Structure 1
Amino acid sequence: MNEQESPPPAAEDFVGRVLAVVESIPAGKVMTYGDVAAALGSRASRAVGQAMAYYGASTPWWRVIRASGHPPADHSAAALEHYRAEYTPLVWSRDGRYRVDLTAARHAVDDGT
């Protein structure tokens, strides 16, 4: 994960809101990029991914995963260490690859309704 000083002013509010949602995900739970976007009232899952790539290094980034249940691209080994430490439910394939069990681990944000 890359980390820069601060986001551009136009994106600052969106990035800050993304990071706040990520910080609210409990240990052992996950949200997809789309889930984070939906929690913000948006459909911009790719923008969530960009925000995480540039500004998410100091957050629990491993708790934001792809819709398939796979960890962030190119971070599967580092994410696995966190998943094991947090007892995140995983599903293993015969070829030794894993994904997060979304049915068991998905975190739902309380939207107040």
Structure 2
Amino acid sequence: MDEHLHERIRDAVRSIPAGLVATYGDIADIARAPTPRLVGRVLSEDGHDLPWHRVLRATGTPAPHLARRQLELLRAEGVLAVNEKVDLRTYRWGVR
């Protein structure tokens, strides 16, 4: 992967304010990445120091293997989920 693209993805995730969320697609659009899956790959391989928990699927749900921890971190920032789903109309960054 292009190093500049990698850093654009990291910068986009880093810029999500506490208390808000973005989708993998939102981050891909901001970073001009070809696919949201690439965002997931960057976060899984090099996202430990980023607010990775603020990035959700387009449905407002976390990845199943991260759900418990991700929802705990979001709850601590005031982002509430119902049935493990965040209301993107309420908490989505840039869409208010």
TM over 0.5: yes
Identify, as 1 or 2, the structure richer in helix: 2
Aligned ranges for residues 19-58 of structure 1 at < 5 Å?
19-58=10-49
User: 1:99 and 2:85 equivalent?
Assistant: yes
Q: C-alpha separation between the residues in 2 aligned to 1:82 and 1:25?
A: 14
Structure 1 gap ranges (5+): 1-9
Sort the Cα spacing of 1:43 and 1:12 in 2 relative to 1 into closer, same or farther, 3 A.
closer
Question: Do the aligned residues in 1 keep the contact of 2:19 with 2:77 (CA within 8 Å)?
Answer: yes
Q: TM-score, normalized by length of structure 1? A: 0.77
User: 3-state SS of the aligned residue for 2:65?
Assistant: coil
Aligned to 1:6: none
Aligned to 1:83: 74
Q: C-alpha separation between the residues in 2 aligned to 1:73 and 1:45?
A: 17
Q: How far off is 1:89 after superposition? A: 3.4
Question: Do the aligned residues in 1 keep the contact of 2:5 with 2:33 (CA within 8 Å)?
Answer: no
Q: C-alpha separation between the residues in 2 aligned to 1:59 and 1:72?
A: 16
The count of aligned residue pairs is 95
Aligned to 2:59: 68
Aligned to 1:4: none
Question: Do the aligned residues in 1 keep the contact of 2:19 with 2:74 (CA within 8 Å)?
Answer: yes
User: 3-state SS of the aligned residue for 1:17?
Assistant: helix
Q: TM-score, normalized by length of structure 2? A: 0.89
Structure 2 gap ranges (5+): none
